[in-house]
Structure 1
Amino acid sequence: MTSAERASPPTARVVAILEFLARHPHDRFGLSELARRVELSKPTCLGILTTLTESGYLVRDVGDNGRDKTYRLGPALIALGHTAQESLRVSPAARAELRRLSEAHQTTAALSAVVDDRITLLELVAPAGLDVGVRVGQSYPFAPPVGLMFVLWDDEALRAWLAKAPTIPLRTESDRYDAVIAECRASGYLVERLTPGGRRLYALMAGMPTALPDELRALLGELVSDIGERVYLRSESAAGGRKRHDISVISAPIFDHHQRQVMVASLHVGRALTDAEITKRAKDLMVSAAAITTQLGGSTPPWGSVS
């Protein structure tokens, strides 16, 4: 039986409505527009909207004229989302660590993991009013070159990841690739450079299947050719460390009780930093990663310890 034969078209229609409204959280839509935007007949759409509203998953607002009705996401989804996060081991204490990081550095702090063989954003905390351009639950293909930070501190996971069919042709055998693994394990964190290609990479791959269309594979091949090529290594920095480097994100691993990497805590940077500024943020991030590891009952391997 194929996946198409197992699929449920009625369920897909419900998902289409919820996903559309999730992409427009500040807007409200009437029946006619919503049916048109999700490509459903009005009677079918109305039936779904009525059931979701009665269950609390949507809210129906009535206009001042008493006739016009619009729909938006409802409060039942809040409890559902929190329950889903808890099932993925995102606790209130973990959110508090992200909040501390975000407030200390006035930027976005996030928690992500590989869920069902896709990289998934589990939690995100950002300063008030900041449009981060991503949302909790967003996912990406977990295949080279995307996902190095999720396997870098786990030999078995790293080998399995490299054995996956890459989303684009890549070089994996190089001295620099070996240096990336050695230095990141020694420091306990990974720093990704901010490049025009890097900024476009995740935007292009968000929500895409691992089997990418040929056109997108070709474009990505122009952006990335070597695993770890966008990783900043302090050993390659000029003497003195006063030069500023354009940095995208700093990430640190979170481990379970088997010392296996299960999540990644990340701190968005998005600007130029000196070596000292990078190290300061990285060590602060590692403190939070270690705290979340402890919350999970986990244990940090020797190369992931905070120094």
Structure 2
Amino acid sequence: MTASPPTDRVVSIVELLATEAPMNAAAIADTLTLSRSTVGAILAALQSRNWVQRSHDLTYRLGPAFPHHRTLSAQPDALPPGAEDELRSLAHRVGCGAALAAVTATSMTFVAIEANHRTPTGSGIPTGVQVGTRLPLRAPAAAAVIAFSPPDQQRAWLDTADPTQRRELATALTEIQATGLAVWGIDPDDLGTLDVLAEVAGHLAHSPTTGPLRRRVLGLLAGLSGYPHTSADLAEDRPLPIAYLAAPVFDADHTPRWEIQIGPLHPAVSLTNRYRYRTELLTSASRLSANRGQRPA
């Protein structure tokens, strides 16, 4: 049960505007199955604080005063120079899928994907994830970017996590700052669940009437990222289950703006292969950041 239904309605509207094109009040109400009067009142309150803006066509979008809106990029579809070529090279070097996602204050959008079918488990990129797939920015998604973001953004990100996971995720942010990347483990049993959710999301993408359901499925998919491996875990000479690895890519203003990922999605990755994955991923992240004038720390 939701602790505060009114708050939940406000959050739902903000998340919808963060993950969709501008919408009018009626479309928002219909999408979220809320009354139009309720949506109108919430939008008026948000507009009075400049958290949302209304255009001449009566559609709404996030406004300039939305928390963190000005710090993280508001251009989710931009690509760093050479991104597609670098992803293609990275996928070939590691033998699994590679992806690049743009991270804004409220969402994470996949802007480039390179599948590689040489890995035993498939491409390494779930089939429901495609260019243009946009996920709400909720922990643990985009941890590699958040680790290099200001403290207030880190706190806001941690607040989206289950309270029982926040300490572990806070420690993970510190480790990511030290190593330059995140390595996520996953319960082998969850690998099958991940594939099923991704397949469902892929089917729903082809029906314009299933937008809300697809967003819920993608939210479940994002929450199935697994758990962060520690440096001590990764140093052990034994196979480990690895879902994916991620590193930040910086823009010319020294802001972490993208997350580059590779997805082994494998239940037993050797120490040698873990080292190879990490080395190749950091190499690609560094190249893309250098193209924008900044290398990861």
Describe the shift of the 1:209–1:262 C-alpha distance in structure 2 as closer, same or farther (beyond 3 A).
farther
**Structure 1's 191 and 86: CA in aligned 2 closer, same or farther, altered over 3 A?**
closer
- Per-residue displacement from partner, 1:99-135 (whole Å, max 9, x unpaired)? 1111112211111012572211100112369664021
**Partners of 1:152 and 1:200 in 2: CA distance:** 28
State the match for 1:273 in structure 2: 269
Contact preservation (8 Å) 2:76, 2:102: no
Equivalent residue of 1:171, what SS? Answer: helix
Output the CA distance in 1 between the equivalents of 2:144 and 2:157: 11
Counterpart of 1:89, as a letter, is L
Q: Note if 1:171 corresponds to 2:164.
A: yes
Structure 2 CA distance for aligned equivalents of residues 122 and 287 of structure 1: 20
Q: Residue by residue, what CA displacement relative to the aligned partner does 1:53-87 show, whole Å, maximum 9, x if unpaired?
A: xxxxxxxxxxxxxxxxxxxxxxxxxxxxxxxx996
Q: Does 1:234 align with 2:231?
A: yes
1:125 pairs, out of 97, 114, 124, with 114
TM-score using structure 1 length? 0.56
- After superposition, the Cα gap between the structure-2 partners of 1:108 and 1:173, relative to the gap in structure 1 and judged at 3 Å, is closer
Q: Following the alignment from structure 2 to structure 1, what is the Cα–Cα distance between the partners of residues 117 and 165?
A: 40
Alpha-carbon distance, 1:197 to partner: 3.9
Structure 1 window deviating more from structure 2 (190-199 vs 249-258): it is: 190-199
Identity %: 20
User: 1:113, 1:262 within 8 Å by CA — same for their partners in 2?
Assistant: yes
Question: For the Cα contact (< 8 Å) 1:90–1:122, is it kept in 2?
Answer: no
Which one-letter code corresponds to 1:142 in the other structure?
L
Higher relative contact order (CA 8 A, sep 6+): 2
Structure 2, unaligned stretches of length 5 or more? 1-21, 29-74, 206-210
- The residue identity in structure 2 corresponding to 1:154 is S
The superposition leaves residues 18-46 of structure 1 with CA deviations (integer Å, 9 ceiling, x where unpaired) of xxxxxxxxxxxxxxxxxxxxxxxxxxxxx
Does the 8 Å contact 2:93/2:280 carry over to 1? no
- Quote how far apart the aligned CAs of 1:154 are: 1.7
The answer to whether the Cα contact below 8 Å between 2:244 and 2:264 also exists between their aligned partners in 1 is yes
Q: Secondary structure at the match of 1:96?
A: helix
Determine the C-alpha separation between the residues in 2 that align with 1:94 and 1:113.
12
Return the alpha-carbon distance in structure 1 between the equivalents of residues 191 and 265 of structure 2. Answer: 11
Counterpart-to-counterpart distance in 2, 1:5 and 1:173:
35
Residue aligning to 1:88: 78
Given that residues 79 and 111 in structure 2 are in contact (C-alpha distance below 8 angstroms), is that contact kept between their aligned partners in structure 1? no
Q: Tell me how large the CA RMSD over aligned residues is.
A: 3.9
Q: Which residue of 2 aligns with 1:152?
A: 147
Counterpart residue number, 2:180: 188
Distance 1:209 1:275 in 2: 41
**What is residue 281 of structure 2 aligned with on the other side?**
285
Aligned length: 210
User: How much has 1:140 moved relative to structure 2?
Assistant: 1.1
* Pair 255,107 (structure 1): closer, same or farther in 2 beyond 3 Å: same
Structure 1 residue runs without a partner (length 5+): 9-84
Q: Which residue of 1 aligns with 2:101?
A: 112
Identify the residue that residue 162 of structure 1 maps to in structure 2: 158
